[in-house]
Amino acid sequence: MQVVRIRLRRRYAAGGRTGYRRGVRAYVGLGANLGDREATVRQAIELLGSSPDVVVVGVSTLRETEPWGPVSQPPYLNGALALETDLGPRALLELLLDVERQLGRRRAGERWGPRTIDLDLLLYDELSVDEPGLTLPHPRLHERRFALEPLVELAPAATVPGRGPVSELLATLERRGGSGPSGTVSRSPHHRAG
């Protein structure tokens, strides 16, 4: 298993900011399995941190994970970010999609296929949203060990609306011996975010 630690610099105050914003706390899943995965994840964090409406306040450990799904593909690096933001959930999602595009992500192709970067909005405060193109919390978060474990690392007391605390959701998956929707076991305790 490959483990990568990324340290926040100067409280990750991109653009010279030195304090945290008083916005909403949001959590984003990170995943990449094409190209220089670590460099791409670092670029995604830099791009998000450079937004005037986002402050990256935490980055989980990145772990190499086995992919799941119908497509043969290389392993992923997965992790999560904690953000403080003044953006609404739709605007934050648009920012995530824009960062993906900047880093070469193309959404054409098979679902759960390989990708240069995958940024998933997992939680936005304790908000529940179900509208076209935006579902919060992430609809499969509670089933995905690869997303729950980095989230527990950042915020063990965080709650998934309608499901419960992330630490309890992860414990339930571990008791069941499951690793996510595919039922495959990875070399690390995670699978790709996606």
Query: What distance in Å separates the CA atoms of residue 19 and residue 6, rounded to the nearest whole number?
Result: 19
Write out the catalytic residue numbers. Answer: 105, 115, 118, 120
Question: Tokens representing 176?
Answer: 């069941």
